[in-house]
Amino acid sequence: MNQQATGKSSEGGSGVGPALSDAEFELFRRLIYDTAGISMAPSKKALISGRLSKRLRDLGYATFREYFQWIDKSKDAAALRERQNAIDHLTTNETYFFREPRHFEFVEQRLIPHWAGRSVRLWSAASSSGEEAYTLAMVMEKHHRGGWEIVGTDISTRVVAAATRGQYPLARANNIPREHLKNFCLKGVGEHNGTFRIDSRLRRKVSFRPANLREDLSAVGMCDLIMLRNVLIYFDMDVKKKVVANVLRQLKPGGCLMVGHAESLHGVTSEVKPVQPATYIKEAK
Ligand SMILES: C[S@@+](CC[C@H](N)C(=O)[O-])C[C@H]1O[C@@H](n2cnc3c(N)ncnc32)[C@H](O)[C@@H]1O
């Protein structure tokens, strides 16, 4: 089982950790594809090796294969936790406030007037550390007259925990309009210096939980708007079709689906109709 790290690879690598062989890369590539649907090109080998080598070192594994076999085969709680940890390390979580601002303009100018007076439920379906959901929350709190609730989900439990905290380095506040910063963000003091936190008034209406887009998503409930942005790019056509069909089951007829502007639903689904770039409406049946 656990061996002390030797600092030398049994496969001939040198330096701070073991080298990742092509066969070992294939084991992790398969794991992330089978679990999350994420396709990893061979060019991602250095990325996998970089992200996981510290875990190997910390846990005392001499090779990637031994580490993989432990998280893949063992059913003990520590191995299951570490499997989730490995998945967390293999996802790419880049996100920021007011990313792709045309979507938030569409929410303000087209959706909110349409929702006037109604209670709505919105879903950030690959929410990462929460910036997308809280951006939406700022727009809703300022403009929507009526109840609203936002749920954020992600396969990575690490980012779900960060999103729930809703606390970010001050540098992340760059894209947030001054007025929203003033109204919805609290500057950290003392030990929280250099950070800001989303006001509890917004955090109360935004909740986060882990969810895999390939699995049953009915616990999310039915939604008026779903943001499924900058996650489809990691999927092949087969996974994209399944994920989009799965997600659309939670979209009310007449509801809105947004994907990233670099993503396309061409050939993926005929359940929604485009209304502007990367923005779709589900036809009422
Ligand atoms: C690049 S981030 C996008 C964040 C945000 N939607 C945005 O556009 O800024 C992609 C997120 O998708 C998540 N993800 C990848 N595969 C997933 C899956 N099968 N189920 C749920 N989340 C997934 C990753 O963990 C990551 O946090």
Mean pLDDT of the chain: 93
User: Distance from the CA of 114 to the center of ligand 1, in angstroms?
Assistant: 28
pLDDT digits (tens, 9 = 90+) for 47-100: 999 999 999 999 999 999 999 999 999 999 999 999 999 999 999 999 999 999
pLDDT at 12 over 50: no
* Gap from CA of 126 to ligand 1 centroid (Å): 4
Q: Is the pLDDT of residue 32 over 70?
A: yes
The one catalytic residue among 88, 99, 121, 154: 154
**Which residue has the least CA distance to atom 23 on ligand 1?**
155
> Ligand 1 pocket check: which of 154, 158, 175, 209 to mutate, most ligand atoms within 8 Å of Cβ?
154
pLDDT at 283: 86
Topology adopted by domain 22-90: Chemotaxis Receptor Methyltransferase Cher; domain 1 (1.10.155)
Q: Which residues line ligand 1 (CB under 6 A)?
A: 36-38, 91-95, 99, 126, 128, 132, 154-156, 159, 212-214, 229-231, 234, 260
Pocket test for ligand 1, best of 91, 100, 134, 241 (most atoms within 8 A of CB): 91
pLDDT, tens digit, 9 for 90 and up, residues 106-124: 999 999 999 999 999 999 9
Query: Can you name the CATH fold of 101-282?
Result: Rossmann fold (3.40.50)
88 catalytic, yes or no?
no
Q: How far apart are CA 106 and CA 125, in angstroms?
A: 18
The domain locations on the chain are: 22-90, 101-282
